Structure 1
Amino acid sequence: KILFILGFFSTLAVIALIAVAVTQNKPLPKNVKYGIVLDAGSSHTNLYVYEWPAEKENDTGVVQQVEVCKVEGPGISGYSHDTEKAGPSLAQCLRQAEKVIPSKQHQETPVYLGATAGMRLLSLENKSAADNVLSSVEKTLLSAPFSFQGARIISGQEEGAYGWITINYLLGNFKQVLYQWQSGWKKFLHSLKSISETSGALDLGGASTQITFVPNELTSGSPENLLYFRLYGKNYQVYTHSFLCYGKDQALQQKLARDLQA
């Protein structure tokens, strides 16, 4: 079963970054921990604050979003001609995160930025500009009172896989008890739950489209499109493919270009 994800659904991929990252943490004290993820998309950047109990379920953290802040201005790839402004554009949302997270936990709170197709395109067109944008972003994140964990361009395969993890997390395909707190569109998503163990995900973004699912049979072809995860005590082999320049914004630009040529 393929679920078609539009608009704000695509931004949910960041939940997967935390869900996977928490599995790599060292044992933590018995209290609530926080994490910050910046989802640097092609048209805009969102900052998300997550919390999770230190206790894990089958070695995987149970994550809940507690804050979202939309960064003003374009996505960081939009600063290709003025790269030094990319980092400072994030400052307002970082200050908002400081207010949400208890000050005594600032230094231990990881912050991570993942850039998607907009930056992948910029890197192909002008690698120097892309590197300068990331350098500006890193400088700003290092100046924040949090524990900087990295700022990088994620691959299309990673983006697709994170989206698949997110949608199956929300549907309850990994762990049912998460849905005692569901409401609104989360209930709607859960009503679409597939009779199969997991659901596939088709993620239409601004500059790319990803399709991700668990194949019915193990395959040895296209190893670069196969990723492996262990979530809630179970192993998953996932097929994912990203179509760069097939996002809605890129499609519109291509249509306008053809119209002008005609």
Structure 2
Amino acid sequence: MKEKNPWHMPVTIIISVIGVIAIVALVTVAVLQNKPLHQKYKYGIVLDAGSSHTALYIYQWPAEKDNNTGRVEQTHSCKVKGKGISSYAADPWGAGESLTVCMQEAKQQVPVKRHHETPLYLGATAGMRLLNMENSSASDKVFEAVEQALQRFPFSYQGARILSGQEEGAFGWVTVNYLDDRLEQGLETTGALDLGGASTQISFVSDKYDGSESPSNSVTFRLYGNDYNLYTHSFLCYGKDQALRMALAYQTQLGPRTISDPCFHQGYNVSKEYSELYNSPCVSDRKPNGPPVTFNHQGMGNFQQCQEVVKRIFNLTSCKYSQCSFNGVFQPLLQGPFGAFSAYYFVMNFLNLTDTSTPLETVKDKLTQYCATSWAQIRLEHPNVKTKYLAEYCFSGTYILTLLTEGYNFTSESYSNINFIKKIKGSDAGWTLGYMLNLTNMIPAEAPDSPLLPHTGYVSIVTVMALLLFLLFILSLRPLWLRCSKRPQIV
């Protein structure tokens, strides 16, 4: 007589198989239920109509996120050929036509089925601010032409308007900190330094600034459950192109036929028209009486003297507040790191001076050597750079250093807190992303809820619990095993 192994009993085998199938089914359902789906995206388009040029940016984010809270990324950019739309005052329809090529690119980049729901925005900055001040009728006609051109495309056109300087600065700050994940994680924020052709902006959070001393410079945000009291100011006419006009206006205030300019290289000699120099609201009231038609613009190439010329366009003495930047504008003490983008980056990158771990005095020495290089040598070393831009780098570099140190009060120590940036995680630094995030409510005021467990943790716990339940189930059958094992079997 032998006892048969209870595991060979049909009932036990059936129960075991059912248990295994139940575990496999439970784990499979858990995995499939939480498996990431094929990603679908929504899109947004923003046109940055700056003073010197217009650029188009396309952004995308996951379509299935509740309340459009998915991560927004830049997928494409297109630089419009020609000057900014403000330069088309005499030919407004040309402003609209100039956007056609980039808009055709947008049609190709955004999936056709998403065209009708993709918001399209155009924001104009300091160039159009100046045109609107000088000739509001011409400004209106430019916008009319731009709107008609954009409405021909199959996107959800949301309008074109002029941003205030405060908006431009604040949205640039939002962009920099959003891309760097500082807002969602509640980290210390980064200040934003933006330099365009016609204006410049500074924006940062200061623990000692509550907005009471200068309310016009205060912007309050509540983002991801955190409150931010932002200091921001925009200086119209202090973009690098208009700053150059002001520097030249200072040197030509007596209407000379020739000026020797320390901000241009030795050997540079170009005839320029007085009427063209003074056709901007930034300098029109300074035009000398009865000047000649043209003047010879000759270069001297001297950084120290150039810096003295640049300082003349700032008022560094008048201040009715506890502390100021320049022109009597309140500014709290600088705090934290800063990201400097747009013309800050392009100029300093060309000059190979973006490494701010380099001591400030060394940066000045390198710029001194660059400005002292002859114009003939500069042209020989950079044959592919347009002459207009190439000629202005000595001035632009000197202006940037003077603006940062004399204007915004960066010291030899705090200068190292500046990071010259073009992109952050593949997206261009600038106001456009912050502008779209604000208009589409992509950043929640309160921090969004998140699952208690990540997907892998959830699956692991379900698997362990299933195995544990199966083990307990098998153990619960032990009395049956014992009864079966005691039953004699005939062999």
Tell me, yes or no, whether TM beats 0.5. Answer: yes
CA distance in 1, matches of 2:42, 2:242: 38
Can you list the C-alpha shifts for 1:41-80, whole angstroms capped at 9, x where unaligned? 1100000011011355997442100000000110000101
For the pair 1:65 / 2:57, whether they are aligned, the reply is: no
Comparing 47-56 with 206-215, greater Cα deviation is found at: 47-56
Can you list the C-alpha shifts for 1:136-170, whole angstroms capped at 9, x where unaligned? 11111111110001100000000000111112123
Secondary structure (helix, strand or coil) at the match of 2:147 reads: helix
Query: Of 124, 127, 135, which aligns to 1:126?
Result: 135
Q: Is the 8 A contact 2:125 2:165 kept in 1?
A: yes
Structure 1 runs of 4+ aligned residues shifted over 6 Å read none
Structure ID, larger Rg: 2
- Tell me the number of residue pairs that the alignment of Structure 1 and Structure 2 aligns: 215
Query: Of 220, 225, 235, which aligns to 1:243?
Result: 235
CA distance in 2, matches of 1:223, 1:55: 40
Q: Is the 8 A contact 2:211 2:217 kept in 1?
A: no
User: Within 5 A, what are the aligned runs for 1:19-168?
Assistant: 31-56=40-65, 60-168=69-177
Q: Is the 8 A contact 2:60 2:72 kept in 1?
A: yes
Secondary structure (helix, strand or coil) at the match of 1:240 reads: strand
More strand by share: 1
For the pair 1:252 / 2:261, whether they are aligned, the reply is: no
User: CA 1:254 to 1:199, structure 2 compared with 1: closer, same or farther past 3 Å?
Assistant: same
Paired AA for residue 203 in structure 2: T
Return the TM-score normalized by structure 1: 0.76
Q: Percent identity?
A: 62
For the pair 1:207 / 2:198, whether they are aligned, the reply is: yes
> Which residue matches 2:346?
none
Return the TM-score normalized by structure 2: 0.42
Q: Is the 8 A contact 2:211 2:231 kept in 1?
A: no
Q: For the aligned residues, what is the CA RMSD?
A: 2.1
Per the TM alignment, residue 224 of structure 1 is displaced from its structure 2 partner at its CA by 2.8
CA distance in 1, matches of 2:220, 2:146: 30
CA distance in 1, matches of 2:183, 2:220: 15
User: CA 1:159 to 1:43, structure 2 compared with 1: closer, same or farther past 3 Å?
Assistant: same
Paired AA for residue 211 in structure 2: T
Stretches of structure 1 lacking an aligned partner (at least 5 in a row): 1-29, 177-195
Secondary structure (helix, strand or coil) at the match of 2:57 reads: strand
User: CA 1:239 to 1:55, structure 2 compared with 1: closer, same or farther past 3 Å?
Assistant: farther
Secondary structure (helix, strand or coil) at the match of 2:142 reads: helix
User: CA 1:224 to 1:59, structure 2 compared with 1: closer, same or farther past 3 Å?
Assistant: farther
Which of 1 and 2 has higher RCO (CA within 8 Å, sep 6+)?
A: 1
Q: Is the 8 A contact 1:35 1:110 kept in 2?
A: yes
CA distance in 1, matches of 2:145, 2:77: 22
Secondary structure (helix, strand or coil) at the match of 1:87 reads: helix
CA distance in 1, matches of 2:64, 2:221: 20
> Which residue matches 1:221?
213
Q: Is the 8 A contact 2:211 2:229 kept in 1?
A: no
Secondary structure (helix, strand or coil) at the match of 1:257 reads: helix
CA distance in 1, matches of 2:198, 2:60: 30
Stretches of structure 2 lacking an aligned partner (at least 5 in a row): 1-38, 255-491
